[in-house]
Amino acid sequence: MVIGQSGSSANMDVAAAGNTEVVRAQLKLLESLGQTDSIDDILITLTTQYDILRLLGEHPSMFIYLTMDKSKSNLALARYKVAECEAQLVL
């Protein structure tokens, strides 16, 4: 479920629901493997865009979802800024 959104993506609810399944699958895999690490973020690269899923440390069932145009983006800076947003987020 999308709590907030900025930008013009009309399909954000669909994308968020689909990415929720990606996060659940990765968390389940880590559990199955007995991993004690936690996920910081998940990067999905498409032909024309980057998607960053940043899990919230205190609430791992929630995540920040950022999608951006590959040709206009700085991936390293975007990951840094998403982590910064997470640190400032109050739930």
pLDDT at site 70 = 95
pLDDT at site 33 = 96
Q: Which CATH architecture has domain 12-88?
A: 2-Layer Sandwich (3.30)
Helix residue spans in 1-91 (DSSP H): 12-32, 75-88
Q: Helices then strands (H, E): number in the chain?
A: 2, 3
Question: Rounded CA gap, 63 and 61, in Å?
Answer: 7
Cβ atoms of residues 22 and 55 within 8 Å:
no
| Sequence-distant contacts of 39-42: CB under 8 A, at least 24 apart | 40/83, 41/79, 41/82, 41/83
| pLDDT tens for the 91 residues of the chain, in order | 666 667 666 688 888 889 999 999 999 999 999 999 989 999 999 999 999 999 998 887 889 999 899 999 999 999 999 999 999 988 7
The verdict on pTM exceeding 0.95 is: no
